[in-house]
A and B are shown apart, each in its own frame.
Chain A
């Protein structure tokens, strides 16, 4: 039989294809935002030092969750179930902390009168960060399902690895969302 040109399992390849299509979706949102941001002279800059500190904490939490996910995938591949579960639950907890900080940031903007219908900034900000938050919450739910299945031996380390790919992608998207959506809108 002819060897696979990619030499990876079909599950993993499917996740890669999903990631590419999702990257293009985020790309479309970020391109639209970029054009509007550069072309609009009186763009709203609502983020003060408190928001920047919040974003720094959120970023550190999300990047750390990628590290714990690497630990989970590696432990699952090595058959160390206890450690894999511990790392998976740590990743979920960090994801939940990130989501909570994200929602707190949203409520601070609501208090300033910035909503989805308050203008171009509100529309683009809540669309992009909302889509990302949806991915984070979906990732936490997926990890919960995978962790349960893996602990009951109905799912394999390959499932953990595929979920890990998705989680790293969520982290990767955040690396574009933060500079473009938060850091270019700091009030000086």
Chain B
């Protein structure tokens, strides 16, 4: 039992650097939010940092880095593809709205 207790303490110590990196990224985001960037620039910067945080969370907290590579190759590209397609659908929906003939 003592060995088990020590080992379960180690996992916290093991992931503590990731925890601090995630918090550091968050504090950088807060700092950037108080700078006077244009909305579009701020959104892009914050999104880039959020993707970095999410990547760390996925790989280490959710242990995707330790899983079989097939799992990563199945889940992640599909998700990214769907999210990117959403980007297309959104702009396209606006285009269609403008193309629709107005009722006279």
Contacts and interface: CB of A to CB of B under 8 A. Distances in A.
Interface of A: 5-8, 13, 16, 20, 23-24, 27-28, 31-32, 34-35, 37-38, 43, 52, 56, 59-60, 63-64, 66-67, 70-71, 74-75, 78-80, 83-84, 87, 165, 168-169, 171-172, 175-176, 178-180, 183-184, 186, 188
A176 B39 CA distance: 16
B29 A179 contact: yes
Nearest to B82: A24
Interface in B76-95: 78-79, 82-83, 86-87, 90-91, 94
Q: Main secondary structure on chain A at its contact with chain B?
A: helix
Given A67-B19, A186-B33, A179 B47 contact: yes
Contacts of B19: 63-64, 66-67
Given A32-B90, A67-B12, A71-B11, A183 B29 contact: yes
Interface size class of B (residues with CB under 8 A): 35 or more
Contacts of B68: 5-8
Nearest to B67: A8
B5 interface: yes
Contact of B1 (A52, A63, A66, A80): A80
Contacts of A74: 7-8, 11
Interface of B: 1, 4-5, 7-9, 11-12, 15-16, 19, 22-23, 26-27, 29-30, 32-34, 36, 39-40, 42-43, 46-47, 49-50, 53-54, 57-58, 61-62, 67-68, 70-71, 74-75, 78-79, 82-83, 86-87, 90-91, 94
Contacts of A24: 79, 82-83, 86
A172 to B, nearest CB: 4
Given A74-B7, A75-B8, A80-B1, A175 B86 contact: no
A8 B50 CA distance: 28
Given A6-B70, A80-B1, 19 more contacts: A20-B78, A24-B83, A24-B86, A27-B83, A31-B87, A34-B43, A37-B39, A52-B30, A52-B33, A56-B30, A63-B23, A63-B26, A67-B12, A78-B8, A80-B5, A172-B61, A175-B26, A180-B46, A186-B34
